[in-house]
Amino acid sequence: MVKMILYKEWLKTKGFLFGALGALALLLFYCLLSVIKTAQINGIETLWELVLEHNQVLVETLKYFPLALGALLAVTQYLPEISRKRLKLTLHLPCSQNKTVFVMYGYGLIVLTAFFALISIVIYAVLNHYLAAELVNRVFATVAVWYLAGYAAYLSGCAICIEPTWRMRAVLMLMTAALLLLLFISGTPEAYNRILPGLFIYVLCGQLLIFHSIKRFKEGLQD
Amino acid sequence: MKTAAKIFLYISLALVAVWILPWAWRIATLKSYSTPFTLYSCVIHDFTSLDRTDNNELTFIDRNGNVHSDEVQPLFYGRVLNNKGMLPDTLNGRPVTLALIDSMNVTFSARPSDFNKKDIPVCLFMESVPVRMELQDPEDAFVIRKDGIVLYDITQNTLEEEKTKAFSNALASEGFVFPVVKYSGNPSHHKSYDEGYLLIDSAGNLFQMKQVDGEPFARRFTQADGINVKYVCITELSSKAILGWFTDDSDNMYFLHPNGQVVRTEVKYNPSKESLLGVGDLFYYTIKTSDDDGEHFYALDADDFSLVDTMDRPYEFEDEFNLCEYIFPCRLYFTSSKEEWVRPHFTDFSWIGLIVDLIAAGFVIFLRRRHKSHR
């Protein structure tokens, strides 16, 4: 049954995922070409100066991509379930309700992780050629917050889509907006180092909201 | 699961409320507050503040309320007075010229956010004695590691093994105990000369390291031995009067002379909490430290940095109505002008807010139970 659910999620999202992959390829191409050309034209030392003296992480173009990916993936996965009223059927599959829901958003989390791993590998391959490991680490410590925003947008997006009442949806949107504001409140590299583990746990706790929305959906709550 | 989700939801909403609403209130009720620029005068030997008189004229006023023209600060306004032909030939018995004034006038400053941040373990490392007249952009960098430093040629991103060995040995020969704990440097060519980096080793001792003709120059400030150096800052002032300053764990401020001499001043300064502004001239250094409560001024003799005078100026905030005190038990904020970290700070605890919130929560629970029993 898990395979079937995963296949269902794949069918719903494959178009979006190919589109996102294309967009990511273009963004990465633009972003890393800028890095390579800066190194070729102005010298590698310019990249070091940008990172050390101008607080840049060289891949700022990708800043909002994880956030957009997470939010749109949630919408792609759950909007058809809600708008075409298929969620009720899904929850009545011969599989425990919690397991079904877990597999559904687990699929999304795996997809996001695959995207973020791909981004990380490509960035690392290019930056490692030009910068010392300590500076590459600085870039990744900063990018990690953007990834976290992607996970937060996805988990909150799932809960918001499934939530049956607009009143609670507004509350969830407010919470999500505040969390995302926090995740982008500072552009200083490594500014989040001290709270990153705490933020990670908090974002993971966002899974609880999905089960909360499912429960309310099952109870048939309406505005 | 449902209970856990509800607890998570309520805690999140409470955090959002004590963060966003007090923030919005503060922005809505924000008022500008400024303090006048203050310098110690070498003419009247008193602190003078550039402020507006009752006639709305911008002028210098001393601590007794006497009004003075720009001539009370002939060194700060040396160029203006010279253009007007009003620059005196001598001051306090010393002959003065515009060139001398320009060469001795210095300013330096620091903010808490300069120190409350993640120290990058990589430092651009420039040549202190460039081939041509002007300083050039750095072509090297040293990376701070637990067991020493490693030098990179940043034009190639390659390790420089010989230089690494040379600089490590130079530091070690001066008694440096790795790793580097703190450092201060300004690897920019927008300055008149370069003094490299001031480094604090793991034993709390102070060192200088710079690159001279590609060769290492390292020295230990032996006069700083025994002082638990906490914060350090290189200044590279155009006058070369001081190389930098540092503070100890009791917030005493010391000046470093380029010849290696360490001078303890009477200035109390905590770099992690206070801002610093230093304005120096031929006769005096006016040091201003500012914290949340006010500004503290120290006038130091420019020759030996002995204390000449002090002045405190507490901020005069009016007690204003703060709605949030009556609604929330505390205020949460994540960013501060005093640090680059993003982290939660809970402040302004209010008993009234806590009691109001508890009563409101009890009322809501009562209403919900009543609503349920009616159903």
Residue pLDDT, tens place only, A61-77: 999 999 999 999 999 99
Cis bond leading into B179, ω under 30°? yes
For testing the chain A interface, which of B120, B123, B156, B333 should be mutated: the one with the most A CBs within 10 Å? Answer: B120
Structure tokens at B82: 């010279």
**For each of chain A's 223 residues, which pLDDT tens digit applies?**
788 888 989 999 999 999 999 999 999 999 999 999 999 999 999 999 999 999 999 999 999 999 999 999 999 999 988 887 778 777 777 778 888 889 999 999 999 999 999 999 999 999 999 999 999 999 999 999 999 999 999 999 999 999 999 999 999 999 999 999 999 999 999 999 999 999 999 999 999 999 999 988 888 887 7
Contact B5 A185 (CB under 8 A): no
The whole-angstrom distance between residue B49's C-alpha and the CA centroid of its chain comes to: 22
Chain mean pLDDT for chain B: 92
pLDDT at position B265? 96
Residue-wise pLDDT for A122-157, tens only, equals 999 999 999 999 999 999 999 999 999 999 999 999
**Amino acid letter at A185?**
I
pLDDT at position B375? 65
Q: Which residues neighbour A156 within 8 Å (Cβ) at sequence distance 6 or greater?
A: A74, A172, A175, A176, A179, A206, A209
Structural domain includes residue A32: yes
Angstrom distance (rounded) from CA B358 to CA B369:
16
pLDDT at position A93? 75
Structure tokens at A96: 């425990």
How many contacts does A have with B, using Cβ atoms within 8 A? Answer: 97
Structure tokens at B90: 């001598």
pLDDT at position B212? 94
Contact B221, B208 (CB under 8 A): yes
The interface predicted TM-score of the complex, written ipTM, equals 0.90
Structural domain includes residue A223: no
- Residue B202 pLDDT exceeds 80: yes
Contact A171 B9 (CB under 8 A): yes
| Nearest residue on chain A to B20, alpha-carbon basis | A178
Mean pLDDT, residues B108-126 taken together: 94
Q: Where are the beta strands (DSSP E) in B56-161?
A: 58-62, 67-68, 90-91, 94-95, 106-110, 122-125, 140-145, 148-153, 158-159
Structural domain includes residue A37: yes
Of all residues in chain B, what percent carry a pLDDT higher than 70? Answer: 100
Structure tokens at B190: 């927008």
Which CB contacts under 8 angstroms, 24+ apart, belong to A194-202? A194/B341, A194/B342, A194/B343, A195/B342, A195/B343, A195/B344, A196/A141, A196/A144, A196/A145, A196/A148, A199/A145, A199/A148, A200/A148
Structural domain includes residue A104: yes
Closest Cβ opposite residue B154 in set A45, A182, A186: A45
Residue-wise pLDDT for B126-157, tens only, equals 999 888 778 899 999 999 999 999 999 999 99
Structural domain includes residue A68: yes
Distance from CA of A46 to the nearest CA of B (A): 8
Distance from CA of B139 to the nearest CA of A (A): 7
Of A27, A11, A29, nearest in space to A66 by CA: A27
- Residue B196 pLDDT exceeds 90: yes
Residues in chain B within 8 Å Cβ distance of A205: 8
Structural domain includes residue A133: yes
Count how many domains chain A has.
1
Task: Give me the residue label for tokens 């992480």.
Answer: A57
Structural domain includes residue A135: yes
Contact B157 A191 (CB under 8 A): no
Name the residue range of residue A69's domain: 2-218
Q: Which residues neighbour B51 within 8 Å (Cβ) at sequence distance 6 or greater?
A: B36, B58, B59, B60, B61
Residue-wise pLDDT for B290-300, tens only, equals 999 999 999 99
